C-alpha cells in the first residue's frame, strides 16, 4: 500500500494565525503529493513459489521442523520456499546473498507469502539453523516421505520403473578425519575431495523421491539397498522394476530386491570384472558367430524422419538364479535371463577410440628414438628400447596389435692418444657410440579386425520372464537411464551445487537436501505440463515455442522446466524497459503455462500496487 509523503515545516519564528506552527505536519495538497514508486521484477518467482505451495512443501516442512516460541511470523516452511525460489531463479545458493535479494523483492514476496517479511528473516544465522534442521536424517526422511505421499495423491504420479544412480560433488574443502568431503573415485575431478549422493527416480517422472548423502570415500554398492528400501515404502507398490548401472548388479542388492523385502525385479548390466568378464567375453564371441549367421534379434526405433533405425541387436541366455544367490534361494527354480546385446553406435565409438590409440602409439614409438642432435637423448641399450616401447603399447592398450622393428647404429671415431700433433707412428684408439633406432611400427590388420568384433557388446541381466520384458523392451528401457542423470545435471548446472559455500558437515548435508528439493520442483512441474500437453495433443505456440525448440528436442518428451521459467523471466526483462507502465498483463503463453501447471494467474495479477493512493481528508 502506498501513502503520500508528509510535508514537515522547519522550526523558526512563530507564524501568524492560520499558518502552521513550528512542529505541525500536514499532508500536501493532492497536486503536490510525492508518490513513492516501488519497482520490482517478479520474473519466475511467483511461478516457483506457487508450484511449491501447490506441492504443500511449506506445510510439510513446518510439520517436521520445530518452531521456537519466540520465532517471527515467517515460518521455516515459507523461509525454505522463498530461499529455494531465489536459488532456482538465480542459481546462487550462498546464504549471504539471500538477505540482499529479499530487500529488493519484499513487496512481491509479502503478497505471495501472505505475511510480513523483512531482511532479518534471511540472515546467515537463521538460514544456518534451517540447514541444520534439514541435515537431521530422521527429519529429512520424514519430509521426503510426506512430500512423496502428497505428490502421488495430488498429481496421480505413475510408477512402474525406478532408476537408481549415484554421483559425486567435488570442491576445494579441507579434508578432516570425520568430514563429509573425502578423496575417492570421481568422474569430476579426482584431485579434489568430494561428497557422494545416491538417488532413485521413478519413470517417467524423473523426480528424486529418496536421496542419501554420504562422505566421498564410500563405495556405491552398499548405498543402493537403503535408497531402494525407502522408495519402495514411499510408493507403497510391489513388483516394481529397478534399473541401475553395473554397481547395482551386486548379488546382495539383487537378492534384496527380489527375495528379502521388496518383491521387485531388476535390470542392470553385468560388470566387466572378475568371473563376469570371462563370461561376457565368451558370450560376445558367440554373438559374433550369430551376427555372421544373421540370427541376432534386431532392436529398432523410429527416427525424426520416420525411418526405422537399428539401435541394437543381440540374443538371450538363461541360467539358474541359484548361481548368483547361492543354494539358500527359496525360489531357486526361477531363472535369470541374460541379454547379450551389441550397440552399433557404441561399437563405432570404440573403433574410433582404437584408431586414435593406434595412431598415438605409433607416433610415440617413433618419437622414442629421435635423430642425433643437441638436446636429443639417445637410447643406447637394447633392453631399454624394448622396455620403453612395450610401456607405450601397454599405456595405449594396443599390445599385440602393433609390432615394431628397431636397429642398432654404431658410429666409430678414431683419435690419437695423448697430446700433440699426429704422425704415422703415433698410437691411435677407436671409440664407438651406440644408439638404437625404431625403424618401423607395423599394424596387424587381422588382429585389429578381430579386436573390433568384440566392441559394442554388453550383457544385461534380469529376473523378469519373456512375456513381461523382451530383449527389445529391455534395451529401450535401459536407454532411458539418462532420466536419472538429469537430476544430477540440474544439481550441477541450474542449482550450481558445486562449489558448496558451507563447511560444517550438518550444513553440507542440509544444503544438499535443500537443493534436491529444488530438483523436485523442476521435475514435477515439467512432468505436469508435459502430461497436460500430451493429453490435449497440444504445443505452446508463438515465439516462445521457437525459442525452446532446440532444447525441447534434446529433452525427453518436450518442454523443459528451464524453458518454462525462461518464458516468465525474459518477458519481464523486455517489458521492464517501458517505464511508463506500472504493471504488465500476462502473455497468452504465460497464461497457458500457469493453467497447465495447475496454477492461478492471480499469482501475478495480485502483485500490482494500488494505482491511486488513498485520499486523506484535508484539515
Contact 480, 203 (CB under 8 A): yes
> What is the average pLDDT across 23-35?
50
Residue position matching grid coordinates 548423502: 213
* Eight-state DSSP code of residue 37: P
Q: What is the pLDDT of residues 57-103, one digit of tens each?
A: 999 999 999 887 767 778 899 999 999 999 999 999 999 888 888 88
The SS3 call for residue 275 is helix
Instruction: Output the pLDDT for position 206.
Output: 81
Q: Is the pLDDT of residue 615 over 50?
A: no
pLDDT-above-90 percentage for the chain = 43
DSSP assignments along 409-429, one per residue? EEEEEEEESSSS---TTS-EE
- For residue 249 the three cell numbers come to 548388479
> What is the average pLDDT across 560-568?
86
Residue position matching grid coordinates 554398492: 221
**Helix or strand (DSSP H, E) at 383:** helix 382-395
CA distance 560 to 540: 12
Beta strands (DSSP E) in 185-281 are: 194-202, 210-215, 241-243, 265-269
How would residue 547 be classed by pLDDT, with cut points 50, 70 and 90?
A: very low
DSSP assignments along 221-242, one per residue? GGGHHHHHHHHHHHHT-SSPEE
The phi-psi region of residue 18 (left if phi > 0; otherwise alpha if psi is between -120 and 50; otherwise beta) is left
How would residue 552 be classed by pLDDT, with cut points 50, 70 and 90?
A: very low
How would residue 207 be classed by pLDDT, with cut points 50, 70 and 90?
A: confident
End-to-end CA distance of the chain: 23
Instruction: Output the pLDDT for position 158.
Output: 75
Q: Is the pLDDT of residue 297 over 80?
A: yes
Nearest to 527, CA basis, from 569, 574, 559: 559
Contact 488, 356 (CB under 8 A): no
Q: Is the pLDDT of residue 12 over 50?
A: no
Q: Is the pLDDT of residue 53 over 70?
A: yes
Residue position matching grid coordinates 521456537: 68
Q: What is the pLDDT of residues 478-517, one digit of tens each?
A: 988 888 888 999 999 999 998 899 999 999 999 999 999 9
Residue 19: CB atoms within 10 Å: 9
To the nearest 10°, the Cα dihedral for 449, 455, 456, 459?
Answer: 130
The SS3 call for residue 116 is coil
Q: What is the pTM of this model?
A: 0.80
Q: What is the pLDDT of residues 371-418, one digit of tens each?
A: 888 888 888 889 999 999 999 999 999 999 999 999 998 888 878 777
Helices (H) and strands (E) counted in the chain, each on its own, are 22, 13
Residue position matching grid coordinates 537378492: 255
* Eight-state DSSP code of residue 616: P
Please enumerate, as own/partner, the contacts of 277-281 that have beta carbons within 8 Å and a separation of 24 or more.
279/459, 280/457, 280/458, 280/459, 281/454
Instruction: Output the pLDDT for position 616.
Output: 32
Contact 513, 507 (CB under 8 A): no
How would residue 22 be classed by pLDDT, with cut points 50, 70 and 90?
A: very low
Q: Which of 12-16, 74-78, 118-122, 553-557 has the highest mean pLDDT?
A: 74-78
Instruction: Output the pLDDT for position 320.
Output: 80
pLDDT mean across residues, the chain: 82
CA angle 365, 369, 372 (to 5 degrees): 155
Higher pLDDT, 19 or 169: 169
Q: Is the pLDDT of residue 31 over 70?
A: no
Amino acid at each position: 500500500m502506498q501513502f503520500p509523503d508528509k510535508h514537515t515545516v522547519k522550526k523558526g519564528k512563530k507564524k501568524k494565525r492560520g499558518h502552521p506552527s513550528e512542529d505541525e505536519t500536514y499532508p500536501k495538497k493532492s497536486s503536490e503529493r510525492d508518490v513513492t514508486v516501488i519497482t520490482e521484477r517478479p520474473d519466475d518467482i511467483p511461478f516457483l513459489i506457487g508450484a511449491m505451495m501447490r506441492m504443500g512443501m511449506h506445510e510439510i516442512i513446518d510439520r517436521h521442523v520445530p518452531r521456537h516460541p519466540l520465532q517471527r511470523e515467517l515460518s521455516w516452511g515459507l523461509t525454505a520456499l522463498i530461499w529455494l525460489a531465489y536459488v532456482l531463479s538465480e542459481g546462487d545458493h550462498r546464504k549471504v546473498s539471500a538477505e540482499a535479494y529479499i530487500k529488493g523483492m519484499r513487496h512481491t514476496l509479502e503478497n505471495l507469502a501472505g505475511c510480513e517479511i523483512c531482511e532479518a528473516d534471511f540472515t546467515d544465522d537463521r538460514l544456518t539453523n534451517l540447514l541444520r534442521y534439514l541435515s537431521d536424517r530422521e527429519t529429512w526422511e520424514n519430509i521426503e516421505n510426506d512430500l512423496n505421499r502428497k505428490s502421488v495423491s495430488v498429481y496421480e504420479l505413475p510408477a512402474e520403473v525406478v532408476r537408481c544412480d549415484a554421483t559425486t560433488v567435488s570442491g576445494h574443502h579441507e579434508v578432516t578425519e570425520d568430514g563429509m568431503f573425502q578423496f575417492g573415485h570421481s568422474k569430476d575431478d579426482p584431485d579434489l575431495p568430494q561428497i557422494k549422493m545416491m538417488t532413485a527416480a521413478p519413470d517417467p517422472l524423473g523426480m528424486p523421491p529418496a536421496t542419501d548423502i554420504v562422505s566421498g570415500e564410500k563405495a556405491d554398492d552398499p548405498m543402493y539397498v537403503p535408497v531402494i528400501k525407502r522408495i519402495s515404502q514411499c510408493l507403497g507398490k510391489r513388483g516394481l522394476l529397478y534399473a541401475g548401472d553395473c554397481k547395482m548388479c551386486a548379488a546382495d542388492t539383487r537378492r534384496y530386491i527380489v527375495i528379502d523385502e521388496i518383491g521387485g525385479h531388476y535390470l542392470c548390466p553385468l560388470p566387466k570384472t572378475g568371473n563376469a568378464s570371462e563370461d561376457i567375453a565368451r558370450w560376445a564371441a558367440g554373438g559374433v558367430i550369430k551376427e555372421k549367421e544373421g540370427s541376432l534379434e534386431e532392436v529398432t526405433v523410429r527416427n525424426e524422419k520416420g525411418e526405422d533405425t537399428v539401435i541394437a541387436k543381440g540374443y538371450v541366455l538363461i541360467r539358474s538364479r541359484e548361481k548368483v544367490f547361492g543354494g539358500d534361494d527359496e525360489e531357486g527354480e526361477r531363472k535369470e535371463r541374460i541379454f547379450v546385446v551389441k550397440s552399433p553406435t557404441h561399437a563405432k565409438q570404440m573403433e574410433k577410440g582404437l584408431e586414435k590409440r593406434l595412431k598415438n602409439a605409433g607416433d610415440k614409438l617413433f618419437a622414442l628414438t629421435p635423430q642425433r642432435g643437441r638436446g636429443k637423448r639417445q637410447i643406447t641399450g637394447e633392453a631399454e628400447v624394448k622396455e620403453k616401447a612395450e610401456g607405450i603399447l601397454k599405456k595405449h592398450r594396443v599390445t599385440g596389435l602393433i609390432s615394431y622393428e628397431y636397429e642398432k647404429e654404431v658410429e666409430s671415431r678414431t683419435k690419437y692418444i695423448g697430446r700433440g700433433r699426429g704422425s704415422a707412428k703415433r698410437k691411435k684408439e677407436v671409440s664407438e657410440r651406440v644408439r638404437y633406432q625404431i625403424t618401423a611400427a607395423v599394424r596387424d590388420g587381422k588382429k585389429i579386425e578381430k579386436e573390433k568384433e568384440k566392441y559394442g557388446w554388453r550383457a544385461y541381466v534380469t529376473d523378469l520372464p519373456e512375456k513381461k520384458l523382451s530383449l527389445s523392451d529391455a534395451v529401450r528401457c535401459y536407454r532411458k537411464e539418462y532420466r536419472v542423470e538429469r537430476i544430477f545435471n540440474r544439481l550441477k548446472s541450474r542449482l550450481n551445487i558445486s562449489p558448496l559455500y558451507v563447511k560444517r558437515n550438518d550444513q553440507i548435508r542440509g544444503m544438499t537436501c535443500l537443493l534436491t528439493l529444488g530438483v523436485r520442483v523442476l521435475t514435477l512441474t515439467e512432468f505436469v505440463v508435459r502430461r497436460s500437453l500430451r493429453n490435449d495433443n497440444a504445443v505452446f505456440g508463438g515465439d516462445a515455442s521457437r525459442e525452446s525448440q532446440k532444447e525441447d528436442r534434446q529433452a525427453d518428451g518436450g518442454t523443459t522446466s528451464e524453458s518454462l521459467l525462461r518464458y516468465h523471466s525474459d518477458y519481464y526483462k523486455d517489458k521492464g524497459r517501458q517505464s511508463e507502465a506500472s504493471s504488465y498483463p500476462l502473455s497468452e503463453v504465460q497464461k497457458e503455462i500457469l493453467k497447465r501447471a495447475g496454477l492461478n494467474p492471480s499469482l501475478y495479477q495480485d502483485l500490482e500496487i494500488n494505482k491511486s493512493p488513498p485520499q486523506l481528508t484535508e484539515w
